[in-house]
Chains A and B, each alone.
Chain A
């Protein structure tokens, strides 16, 4: 009980309160997958107990990192395709259909159409920035 006191917390483990408390207790906070992979590489306990050799740990790190990178790239390519080939054209088509009905920007319908336009614009921008990042990953 005494040994594990530092890592025990009775509240919400996902809250900011726990992050602050963990920092106060001096516990590490690995917020991203990449940071956690680095820890695997440094896990001396696994080599000390002869579970893995240093080389095996290093190999595991590279396999995990590569798998993470590949799945991130596939996810990004898929969502960018779905957005640009399905949702953006569908939204443009819908807006062109209802455009004639919406006359005043001050009417509730006008406000609704404006929100739609904003959402469409944000989606187009998001696809662009994601594609730029993907190009960087390729090069």
Chain B
């Protein structure tokens, strides 16, 4: 169980690293349309 915890933490750190360096996705078209419709 200790090993499972360690491995989970390791993968969590890798995922966090990926999240930090992957570019953020642009706002999706429906959301953009919502914003445009407001004005």
Contacts and interface: CB of A to CB of B under 8 A. Distances in A.
Interface of A: 32, 34, 68-69, 72-73, 75-76, 79-80, 82-83, 87, 90-91, 94, 116, 119-120, 122-123, 126-127, 129-130, 133-134, 137
30 contacts: A32-B2, A34-B2, A68-B1, A72-B5, A73-B4, A75-B5, A76-B4, A76-B8, A79-B12, A80-B11, A82-B15, A83-B14, A83-B15, A90-B18, A91-B18, A94-B23, A119-B17, A119-B21, A122-B14, A123-B11, A123-B15, A123-B18, A126-B7, A126-B11, A127-B11, A130-B11, A133-B3, A133-B7, A134-B4, A137-B1
B19 interface: yes
A83 B11 contact: yes
A91 B17 CA distance: 12
A119 to B, nearest CB: 6
Interface residues of B, number: 18
A126 B10 contact: yes
B36 interface: no
A112 B8 CA distance: 26
Nearest to A126: B11
Contacts of B32: none
Given A79-B12, A87-B15, A87-B19, 13 more contacts: A69-B1, A73-B4, A79-B15, A80-B11, A90-B22, A91-B22, A94-B23, A116-B21, A122-B14, A126-B7, A130-B8, A133-B3, A134-B4
